[in-house]
Structure 1
Amino acid sequence: MKTALIVGDHPVTHIGCGQLLRDLGYDEVFEALTEREHQVLRLIGRGEDLQSIADALCISYKTAANTSSTLKRKLGARNTTELVRLAIETGLS
């Protein structure tokens, strides 16, 4: 089993990460995101692709892609699907 993190002796899969973040009071992780990161995460949560996000926010594709990568790193998401799930679970989408 691949784990995102260990809590005590219990491995937590990526599937439970969003709920765990909320349960442990890690709302500050989401609050610490920049406004641009919130905007990109919200659009990712709505199913927008990077080019659509870039167009909607009047930024380059590269900026949208870099922001997506930063979000994955900050939130512990392995892929865009996990970002979508986190956006939905946290009410950002």
Structure 2
Amino acid sequence: MTVDVLICDEMPLVRDGIKALLADEEDIRVLDVTDSGIHAMMMIRTRRPDVVITGVRLSGLSGLDMMRRLKDEILEPPPRVIVFAMDDSDETITEVLHAGACGLLVKDVSRGELVAAVHAAARGQVMLAPRIAERLVHWFCRQDSQPEELLQPAAEALTPRERQILVLIANGLSTEDVAEELTIGLATVRTHIYRLRHKLGLKDRAQLVSFAYRAGLMQLTSQTTVTP
């Protein structure tokens, strides 16, 4: 079966490079390339690719926002999305995985890894760049085994605004998205995140997300509106 692929990235060099890496694959067909998230949405609706390879940054609509919008589209079957990221920061990994990507590749991806990721996505499987997978495994192994009830005092010590921001982060919102959602400054959000990490003794966003789930904060059905 031929896998139809749409390639999206703001940089022509990246788009053309990915297309060139896939050019000799007899069972992979590149339908088109684009630098626009809005154009990508239109092509997904009309041309129905099996797999979408997208960068995080696109013109008009980011790759992450495109993935979030795809969740609301009535497409059967829905396309599987692989993200090609220029960095592998904790924030990028967290945002990409929470947005619903089934694959995450980084700039040093090999042709073999790219092709394998496309085939895995087409089969409904998830594939991460080896160094991303290794980092996630190491992060998981470092986590302590505190029962959830032991996390409750720390969760209760948070201010309402801190809990609100923590829940939004755990829901996959970026720092910019949190600022827009709460109508507060970007610097204010970053300050809250720094204080959360310091207060809870956590190192990065991935650990903040883990804490939010393990402490039961994500079981809340609504958020209390508070002032900054």
3-state SS, counterpart of residue 20 of structure 1: coil
Question: What does residue range 47-62 of structure 1 map to in structure 2 within 5 Å?
Answer: 47-62=172-187
Query: 2:197–2:203: 8 Å Cα contact kept in structure 1?
Result: yes
**Unaligned segments of structure 1, at least 5 residues:** 1-12
1:71 paired residue among 196, 212, 218: 196
* Bigger strand share: 2
* Bigger helix share: 1
Matches of 1:92 and 1:39 in 2, distance apart? 9
Corresponding residue for 2:148? 22
Tell me how many residue pairs correspond in the alignment. Answer: 78
Deviations 1:9-65 (A, max 9, x none): xxxx7511xx52635x34221101001000000001111111100111111111111
Q: Alpha carbons of 1:32 and 1:47: their partners in 2 closer, same or farther (altered >3 Å)?
A: same
- Based on CA coordinates, which of the two structures has the bigger radius of gyration? 2
Matches of 1:64 and 1:54 in 2, distance apart? 6
1:80 paired residue among 177, 196, 205: 205
The Cα RMSD (Å) is 1.8
Corresponding residue for 1:9? none
Name which structure has the greater RCO, CA cutoff 8 Å, separation 6+: 1
**Unaligned segments of structure 2, at least 5 residues:** 1-140, 219-228
Q: Alpha carbons of 1:32 and 1:21: their partners in 2 closer, same or farther (altered >3 Å)?
A: farther
Query: 2:179–2:189: 8 Å Cα contact kept in structure 1?
Result: yes
Query: 2:152–2:215: 8 Å Cα contact kept in structure 1?
Result: no
Identity of paired residues, percent? 31
> Normalising by the residue count of structure 2, what TM-score does the alignment of the two structures yield?
0.32
Corresponding residue for 2:166? 41
Matches of 1:14 and 1:34 in 2, distance apart? 27
Q: How far has the Cα of 1:91 moved from its partner?
A: 2.4
> Normalising by the residue count of structure 1, what TM-score does the alignment of the two structures yield?
0.74
